[in-house]
Amino acid sequence: HQYANGANVYATIPATMGSEKQLVVGAHFDTVANSPGANDNASGAAVVLAIARYLRDTPCRKAPVIIVFFDQEELGLFGARAFAQTLDPTQTRAVHTIDQVAWDSDNDKRYELELPTPTLEAEWRAAAAVVGVTLTATTTSGTDHEAFRDRGFAAIGLTEEYVGGDTSPFRHQSGDTPATVKASYLIDAAKLTARVVLGETAL
């Protein structure tokens, strides 16, 4: 999906049964200059790739899922805003975006849900109870889900403890390398997201 000065990458995984409203699962793949971007936001992109794999291996899917990687989040959500204009909010059940999910220095397995709707928050909390992680709802915005919410979509963002104070000190710096990634925390983020998405799509 090309737009003015960038390009998003996306694929639609079709439903195998039924024709319920589509879901969107996405993460931005860009980083700032001179930062490798391992956490911000290769971690989010890795989770979205994992979701695509989970869905591929799920034989009965009642809703189509759009897997999307947004360009130019760091410049002002340009990719997400352009992509949101191509979709119909009335035909979209939910938009889930993942941004920075690889830092947990206090080992508390806590993530933040940014601006959740009551329905989406309930779904994520139910999934968290099964996975064994903790969620805190915040009113933080400023990443890709904002672009969809502004156009009337039910959207939510998953991130590490940005408001809670346990977020990577290497964000937007040259030190944002794979060596700083906490693998177990990243894996739990993928499990959590997968349980939410599969709960919305699998029969």
Q: How confident is the model over 67-94, as a mean pLDDT?
A: 97
One-letter amino acid for residue 136 of the chain: T
- Taking the CB of residue 92, how many other CB atoms lie within 10 A of it? 21
Q: How confident is the model over 57-83, as a mean pLDDT?
A: 95
Token pair recorded at residue 181: 């990634």
One-letter amino acid for residue 125 of the chain: R
Q: How confident is the model over 66-70, as a mean pLDDT?
A: 99
User: Quick one: pLDDT at residue 141?
Assistant: 84
Instruction: For residue range 118-154, list pLDDT tens digits in order.
Output: 999 999 999 999 999 999 999 988 899 999 999 999 9
Q: Is the pLDDT of residue 48 over 90?
A: yes
Q: Is the pLDDT of residue 203 over 70?
A: no
User: Is the backbone of residue 76 left (phi > 0), alpha (psi -120 to 50) or beta?
Assistant: left
User: Any bridge partners for residue 2, and if so which?
Assistant: 7
User: What is the pTM (predicted TM-score) of this model?
Assistant: 0.95
Instruction: For residue range 172-199, list pLDDT tens digits in order.
Output: 999 999 999 999 999 999 999 999 999 8
Cα–Cα distance measured from residue 156 to residue 148, given in angstroms and rounded to the nearest whole number: 9
The domains found in the chain, sorted by start residue, are 2-201 (3.40.630.10)
CA dihedral for 164, 168, 172, 173, sign (positive or negative): positive
Q: Give the phi and the psi of residue 138 in degrees, each rounded to 5.
A: -130, 170
Token pair recorded at residue 55: 């869905």
Q: Is the pLDDT of residue 19 over 80?
A: no
- Taking the CB of residue 30, how many other CB atoms lie within 10 A of it? 18
User: Quick one: pLDDT at residue 67?
Assistant: 99
Residues 6+ apart with CB under 8 A from 89: 151, 152, 153
CB 30 within 8 A of CB 74: yes
Average predicted confidence (pLDDT) for the chain: 95
DSSP code at position 90: G
Closest residue by Cα to residue 153 from 5, 16, 21, 2 = 21
